[in-house]
């Protein structure tokens, strides 16, 4: 299998590139600003440059493109909405269309932030999207342009991604919590936000499994557990053997940020489990794997 992984310098992309290489796939990983240290072939690519993307097909016979590149700074997207639309909205559609012209599979990584977070239960893949900030709007546009450009594409929605990068360093929420606990700083964590955290290494395996099975449509990839950041932080601290008494209950309204966050974006993963014939990891399994 020959795969093109865009955004291979990012947290998810570096995990997808590493897992694909471990499986014996031929991998080209693209980076944007900074060349990452990866054990696979790399090339520079700005995904908003469709000609540059198309040129990669002149020298490689890819079976699949996995687009992990995105503008992921939620507040940055609020302040630079046009750029967010270009990177997260229009570019994925253009890449998907070029992949379709070459008869190649296309996987678009998307987000739980396409939902408004106003419901009590979990969101299923077919539920109506209604993003409430520019990041979510740009990613929802990306889903739409990808579906238009490549009707057989696979769209994989993740939630609250964390994990180890290609240097083995922990990134995301657990890195922030563990760092503060190591410095013995009290740490307020929200009790009024609900998420299904996604470990990048596990999501990389699942995404490649779904791609290998030529899955199409939209799927959710996340841990089984729907938790608050406070519960996530507490479980993490306990498993890491750190004192939990430094963790304090906080509320989303306590923090002033440019972009509003949805309250509940817990993803239903049953469809993914039945497609793969196995359960998605529990939060504890994922955190133990991280640690
Ligand atoms: N992080 C989360 O909590 C979360 C939650 C749900 C879904 N997701 C989705 O998961 C995917 C991966 O996220 P991540 O956490 O791995 O993000 P990340 O670590 O920020 O990586 C994103 C990568 O995209 C690259 N990129 C940005 N603009 C680009 C451009 N114009 N051309 C080419 N590459 C570009 C970045 O490279 P440079 O830094 O060099 O620009 C970066 O390496 C994204 O689709 C994101 O929307 C993330």
Q: 245 CA distance to ligand 1 centroid (A)?
A: 33
What are the tens digits of pLDDT across the range 123-153? 999 999 999 999 999 999 999 999 999 999 9
pLDDT at res. 277: 97
Q: What is the DSSP letter of 226?
A: -
Fold of 164-194+226-265+281-290: UDP-galactose 4-epimerase; domain 1 (3.90.25)
* Burial of residue 239, with CB atoms counted within 10 A of its CB: 0-12 exposed, 13-18 middle, 19 or more buried: middle
Q: 110 CA distance to ligand 1 centroid (A)?
A: 10
Could you give the residue numbers annotated as active site? 135
Ligand 1 pocket test, candidate residues 69, 141, 220, 222, most atoms within 8 A of CB: 69
What are the tens digits of pLDDT across the range 48-94? 999 999 999 999 999 999 999 999 999 999 999 999 999 999 999 99
Read off φ and ψ for residue 228, nearest 5 degrees: -90, 160
Separation between Cα atoms, residue 25 and residue 40, nearest integer Å: 10
| Token reading at 111 | 């987000």
Half-sphere exposure of 276 toward its Cβ, with a 13 Å CA cutoff? 21
- Residues 18-43 have a mean pLDDT of 96
What are the tens digits of pLDDT across the range 161-193? 999 999 999 999 999 999 999 999 999 999 999
- Residues 216-244 have a mean pLDDT of 97
Q: Which atom of ligand 1 is nearest to the CA of 45?
A: 33
Q: Which atom of ligand 1 is nearest to the CA of 12?
A: 16
pLDDT at res. 119: 94
Question: For residues 211 and 154, is the Cβ–Cβ distance under 8 A?
Answer: yes
Question: For residues 20 and 5, is the Cβ–Cβ distance under 8 A?
Answer: yes
For atom 13 of ligand 1, the residue with the nearest CA is 12
pLDDT at res. 98: 97
- Residues 37-45 have a mean pLDDT of 95
Q: Which atom of ligand 1 is nearest to the CA of 160?
A: 3
Q: Which CATH class is domain 2-161+197-222+268-276?
A: alpha beta
| Token reading at 243 | 């004192």
Q: 184 CA distance to ligand 1 centroid (A)?
A: 31
Q: Which helix (H) or strand (E) holds 181?
A: helix 173-182
Residues with CB under 6 A from ligand 1: 7, 9-13, 31-34, 45-48, 68-72, 87, 109, 111-112, 139, 158-161
SS3 label, residue 126: coil
> Which parts of 67-224 fold into alpha helices (H)?
74-79, 81-84, 91-101, 134-149, 173-182, 200-212
| Token reading at 188 | 């307020």
Ligand 1 pocket test, candidate residues 12, 92, 113, most atoms within 8 A of CB: 12
For atom 11 of ligand 1, the residue with the nearest CA is 68
Q: 11 CA distance to ligand 1 centroid (A)?
A: 7
Separation between Cα atoms, residue 230 and residue 186, nearest integer Å: 13
First to last CA, the chain: 31
* Alpha-carbon radius of gyration of the chain: 18
pLDDT at res. 96: 98
Q: 139 CA distance to ligand 1 centroid (A)?
A: 11
What are the tens digits of pLDDT across the range 86-110? 999 999 999 999 999 999 999 999 9
Question: For residues 286 and 227, is the Cβ–Cβ distance under 8 A?
Answer: no
What are the tens digits of pLDDT across the range 245-267? 999 999 999 999 999 999 999 99
- Residues 214-226 have a mean pLDDT of 97
Ligand 1 pocket test, candidate residues 4, 8, 10, most atoms within 8 A of CB: 10
Taking the domains of the chain in order of start, what are their residue ranges? Answer: 2-161+197-222+268-276, 164-194+226-265+281-290
Q: Which helix (H) or strand (E) holds 218?
A: strand 217-220
Half-sphere exposure of 109 toward its Cβ, with a 13 Å CA cutoff? 31
CA distances from 166 to 3, 14, 38 (A): 18, 6, 7
């Amino acid at each position: 299998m020959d795969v093109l992984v865009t955004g291979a310098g990012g947290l998810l992309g570096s995990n997808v590139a590493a897992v694909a290489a471990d499986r014996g796939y031929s991998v080209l990983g693209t980076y944007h600003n900074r060349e990452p240290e990866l054990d696979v072939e790399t090339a520079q690519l700005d995904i908003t440059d469709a000609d540059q993307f198309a040129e990669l097909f002149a020298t490689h016979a890819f079976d699949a493109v996995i687009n992990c590149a995105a503008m992921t700074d939620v507040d940055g997207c609020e302040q630079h909405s046009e750029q967010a639309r270009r990177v997260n909205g229009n570019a994925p559609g253009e890449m998907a269309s070029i992949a379709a012209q070459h008869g190649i599979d296309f996987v678009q990584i998307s987000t739980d932030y396409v939902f408004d977070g106003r419901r009590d239960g979990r969101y299923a893949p077919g539920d109506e999207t209604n993003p409430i900030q520019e990041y979510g709007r740009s990613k929802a546009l990306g889903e739409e342009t990808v579906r238009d450009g490549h009707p057989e594409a696979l769209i994989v929605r993740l939630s609250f991604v964390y994990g180890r990068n290609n240097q083995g360093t922990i990134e995301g929420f657990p890195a922030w919590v563990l760092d503060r606990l190591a410095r013995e700083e009290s740490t307020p964590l929200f009790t009024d936000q609900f998420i299904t955290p996604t470990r990048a290494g596990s999501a990389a395996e699942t995404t490649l499994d779904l791609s290998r099975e030529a899955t199409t449509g939209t799927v959710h990839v996340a841990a089984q557990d729907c938790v608050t950041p406070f519960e996530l932080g507490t479980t993490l601290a306990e498993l890491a053997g750190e004192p939990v008494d430094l963790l304090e209950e906080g509320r989303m309204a306590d923090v002033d940020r440019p972009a509003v966050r949805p309250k509940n974006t817990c993803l239903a993963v049953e469809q993914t489990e039945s497609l793969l014939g196995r359960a998605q990891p529990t939060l504890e399994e994922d955190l133990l794997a991280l640690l």
